[in-house]
Amino acid sequence: MENQNIPHVISHDEQAIVIKDLYKSFDDLEVLKGVNLTVDKGENVVVLGKSGSGKSVLIKIIVGLLKADRGEVTVLGQQVATLTDKELNALRLRVGFSFQSSALYDSMNIRQNLEFPLKMNRKTMSRREIIKAVDEVLEDVGLRDKMNQMPSDLSGGQRKRIGIARTLILRPEIMLYDEPTAGLDPITSYEINKLINEVQQLYNTSSIIITHDLTCAKETADRVAMFVEGRFTRIGKFEEVFNTDDEQVRSFYNYNFIQ
């Protein structure tokens, strides 16, 4: 996909995700302690925090895989906790999840991996339409020449790109990225960060990007939300979030950029 060098344009007319006063505990362990966050249409919000801090729990609540103890989550105008199973499944088709592991089927080649969600969820599509959709999304992630290869033949960065392509093929309105640069070398991480921005521009997605990689945050975020001890302590532009004397925030920055 060609880098169009278009600045991010944020529309505040609609909010893709609204999270209000969210709490979640597991037995005596409090994980979410009054979380508040909004994601505007077309916006990339990076959620930063230490491993095990509750970032993944938040994502699972957003898509209805977990239920909050109290609080409210609204996704694309629908309150998640009030949806029936049928309504929740319909909403999930509008939300793409890019797994840390890429979650490809090892027994299928790349074309088959990308065709699978279409066959499962777009049953009225013709064979010609499916082939066209696969060709287009592979072109968008820069891997059209890999369609007949197996996942085991690809590098870690290529598998990550194919995982994103398989999510994009259903044309989601929201993208949720779970540690998109984890385990990747700096050059490949740069390419994935660039792809996340290109996806935002080409598909007009609203995204939450979970990471503890500050370079990823700096390169992809319209806003950064710093997650500390169960809640967001600072939300804003990257420079605004880290322009603070808060030792917990500064130590996170120093761990990434100084050591």
Q: Return the exposure string of 39-59: e unless at least 16 CB atoms fall within 10 Å of the residue's CB, then b.
A: bbbbbbbbbbbeeebbbbbbb
Give the rounded distance of the alpha carbon of 36 from its chain centre.
18
Mean pLDDT for all residues in the chain: 89
Q: What is the pTM of this model?
A: 0.88
Other C-beta atoms within 10 Å of 7: how many? 6
Residue 11 has pLDDT above 60, yes or no: no
Cα 187 to Cα 120: distance, rounded to the nearest angstrom:
35
Q: How many residues in the chain? A: 259
pLDDT tens digits for range 13-34: 589 999 999 999 999 999 999 9
Q: Render pLDDT for 223-238 as a digit per residue (tens, 0 to 9).
A: 999 998 899 999 999 9
Rounded Cα distance, 212 and 183, in Å: 12
pLDDT in tens, 194-206: 999 999 999 999 9
Amino acid at 142: G
pLDDT at 256: 65
Q: What three-state secondary structure class fits 132? A: helix
Please give the domain boundaries of the chain with CATH numbers for all domains: 12-94+173-259 (3.40.50.300), 103-171 (no CATH)
* Segment 53-79 mean pLDDT: 93
